[in-house]
A and B are shown apart, each in its own frame.
Chain A
Amino acid sequence: MTSKVYVALRVKASPERAFEAFTGEIGAWWRPSGLFQTTPRPGVLSFEGGEGGRLIETRAGGKVFEIGRIRLWDPPRRLVFAWRQANFPPDLHTEVEVAFEAVGEETRVSVEHRGFHNVPDGAARHGWPDQLLLLRLAEFWRGQIAQMGERLG
């Protein structure tokens, strides 16, 4: 078994538009988090290529950090990518699945982040027990999707 953090929010857009905003415009709506730092000094996130491509963060000096490989690219329904923070141990990879489901004229965007309980004591855990770490992670993702939703009106 692995831990799962799942959040879902409705956004005012079609699945096509929501998928495009998530993947193509992430650099515009993503808000770096002090709690879930991908890199010590935040850069700009972007998806590079489709399946087999990657989610990267480009730092101010142009240096690129790979957050994770894209494992599934199925527009406008589903997207799966690996998630690694610079403060993770080298062998730790968690996984994020994003789904886009039409509900009337809106889209229910859900994020499921799996395996985060494997984050060991250290910089990425802040000394928190699993339950608090996972709740904060859920709030982090809900905030990110809400940011994307604001962009979509």
Chain B
Amino acid sequence: MADANFPSLSSAVCYVDPRAALAFLEQAFGFEISMLIEDGAGNIAHSEMRFGSSVVMVGNEWSADHKSPRSIGGKNTQTVHIQIETDVDAHCERARAAGFEIIVEPETQFYGDRTYRCRDPEGHIWTVAQTVATVSAAEMEAESGLKITGWA
């Protein structure tokens, strides 16, 4: 917003306790707070964190239709994916040390990415991947039995 570097797509994630979320997302994933607005009562009105060229907004349950997974039995309706360039295993250990539950440990997939999946303390699921091998569409089709289009 009012920023030429603001990406065309970004995600706004709801938390019961956004202040705690800002801290654990920094600890687990190295996201950096780039904007934080607190009102006269000390409540968080708006916040943004940066990671690489992307932005995630960390907010509260600001309407009746915006809920943290913690408030709706742990359900997620979308997940945010993090693509990193180095050492996904170390990334996973950092998330674990920050109190995130590792749902699926790092594993190399048929499409050449090594991925893991974790749940943050309020129940949001995050997926993380690092490309570790270059795989052609033909190789992936042979491996998976899927018909694959749009693969560079």
Q: Is A6 an interface residue (CB 8 A)?
A: yes
Write the chain B residue with the least CB distance to A131. B45
Q: Is B7 an interface residue (CB 8 A)?
A: no
Q: How many angstroms between the C-alpha atoms of A87 and B3 in the bound complex?
A: 26
Q: Is A72 an interface residue (CB 8 A)?
A: no
List chain A residues, Cβ under 8 A from B4.
146
Max chain B CB contacts within 10 Å: which of A4, A130, A143, A146? A4
Taking the closest CB of chain A, its distance from the CB of B37, in whole angstroms, is 5
| Contact present for B34 and A130 (CB under 8 Å) | no
Taking the closest CB of chain A, its distance from the CB of B128, in whole angstroms, is 21
Q: Is B143 an interface residue (CB 8 A)?
A: no
| Contact present for A134 and B3 (CB under 8 Å) | no
Taking the closest CB of chain B, its distance from the CB of A8, in whole angstroms, is 5
Q: Is B1 an interface residue (CB 8 A)?
A: yes
Q: How many angstroms between the C-alpha atoms of A152 and B35 in the bound complex?
A: 21
The 0/1 profile, CB within 8 Å of A marked 1, for residues 36-65 of chain B is: 111111100110000000000000000000
Task: Rank and list the top 4 A-B pairs by shortest CB-CB distance, nearest first.
Answer: A139-B2, A6-B36, A1-B42, A117-B40
